[in-house]
Chain A
């Protein structure tokens, strides 16, 4: 391992990087293929490309010492692949992106983690899940998403929002379009809005026994599935979804270079922030090295760095562990950290342990979606259609 005296992000040595990448390669081959090689040539190509993509990025993460740049490429690819895969799946199964009433009445709606905060109170009191999905089996079942959420929360806390969420890569990606932000001064009080939204949707969901955020506010309905427009109410809901998607996921991230939907709206994100308290990994600032240049405050996409953070030596509770501040600190004062250990301590070891947990989660969780996305694109090139 290189010594910890350099000031800018520093990677592992070449030999160590190769050994660790080989370890990751073995794990990803086993996990991505699930022990069997695909017979279909398109699926084979997709598997190989996904493996190459994952392991190249892991190599670069380790060798360059830069986290956010390579994480963001993977994370955004995951989000785009999800849209390609999900929408193709919907067209194959239902002939459109809209959700028919029949599927709702048969409880066959795919479940997504954003519903979780609204399900918890009714689940605790009535032992029922207020969502028209299937508990087990089927595509995106409720129990499987709960297992993913619990696993990711234990391993990463709010790191979920930079390494696991299949939507987060969208505003993350759009926040990188411009080199400099057009809108600079954002009131930091906005970071409290998701907590208010969380409280509101959790309470209204409990009172009405209905996942109100999904029905009225979720911007991602615009790119996944929405109810067929059969009434004025559904038309208004659709306009809200599309408006929020364009505003919070595309336009504002481009103009502000912040992840505006994740930092200023998402109630699931707010709930995940609370789980940072029980997670072992955090982002810490070495006060001895910090020269208060405030670069980290400027670049943080979630306003999780503030002057108080610099004073206290730690990021705010809303930190998504994306690594952008770490990459951008000119003095190498910011690092991933394991609770209970010294600061700066063995920062490369802390980072390595965090990266293994976070990268593995992202790689395994996204592998089938990215592979399916590649297969769909290959189908489009060879047959002119993404669906079978």
Chain B
């Protein structure tokens, strides 16, 4: 028995050296396999969530993301919705657009972004729409995150 344990120990130690080689020689393969098999994504709190609608305006496009309320389990009361406009070169000096994220056929909010100065304003229509959480110039476009709240809806 001690001999078997000892042989097993040596084999395990030898395998450790093989693991070192495999880690570096097949790093790309393992990285892809890890992502594919686990199905993980970047949290929508960072990525903005999946794009659910793309509107083509000719020289530029608008990408509307899904509303993000994700919690560890279930959903939070506070969330946001992200909209991106790209490419930078095709954007007008002022973007004005309305959005219906709830899908009821009526606009929930409209935004105005001055792509020269970065000034942005929001006109909430749906009571869940609270304020502008963030506006930013990206490498190839502009984005805005609009704060949404379910508690406000209940309170009102």
Contacts and interface: CB of A to CB of B under 8 A. Distances in A.
Interface of A: 31, 101-102, 104-107, 121-123, 125-136, 141-144, 146-148, 150-152, 154-156, 206-207, 209-210, 279-281, 338-342, 350, 353-354, 356-357, 360-361, 364-365
Nearest to A354: B13
A129 B89 CA distance: 32
B20 interface: yes
A343 B19 CA distance: 25
Interface of B: 2, 5-6, 8-10, 12-14, 16-17, 19-24, 27-28, 30-32, 34-35, 38-48, 70-73, 134, 136-139, 143
A206 B72 contact: yes
B31 A147 contact: yes
A107 B47 contact: yes
Contact of B24 (A121, A142, A364): A364
Contacts of A154: 16, 19
Contacts of A156: 16
Contacts of B14: 353
A150 B22 CA distance: 11
B17 A143 contact: no
A209 B9 contact: no
Contacts of B22: 151
A151 B23 contact: yes
Given A143-B31, A206-B72, A353-B14, A127 B39 contact: yes
A338 B13 contact: yes
A155 B16 CA distance: 4
B6 A341 contact: yes
11 contacts: A105-B136, A127-B41, A129-B42, A141-B31, A143-B30, A147-B30, A280-B16, A340-B6, A341-B10, A360-B17, A364-B24
Given A129-B42, A155-B19, 11 more contacts: A102-B139, A125-B72, A127-B41, A130-B43, A135-B41, A143-B31, A150-B23, A206-B72, A209-B71, A281-B16, A340-B6
A370 to B, nearest CB: 15
Nearest to B9: A340
A102 B34 contact: no
Nearest to A350: B13
Contacts of A122: 43, 72
A360 B30 contact: no
Contacts of A354: 13
Contacts of B13: 280-281, 338, 350, 353-354, 357
B70 A143 contact: no
A105 B44 CA distance: 11
B11 to A, nearest CB: 9
A125 B38 CA distance: 12
A364 B143 contact: no
Nearest to B7: A340
A126 B73 CA distance: 8
Given A127-B39, A130-B45, A154-B19, A147 B138 contact: no
Contacts of A133: 42
Contact of A341 (B9, B23, B24, B38): B9
A319 to B, nearest CB: 16
A209 B72 contact: yes
Contacts of B34: 143, 146-147
A316 B18 CA distance: 27
A155 B12 CA distance: 9
A134 B10 CA distance: 38
A129 B14 CA distance: 33
B121 to A, nearest CB: 20
Contact of A136 (B23, B35, B48): B35
Nearest to A361: B20
B143 A207 contact: no
Given A126-B43, A129-B40, A356 B17 contact: yes
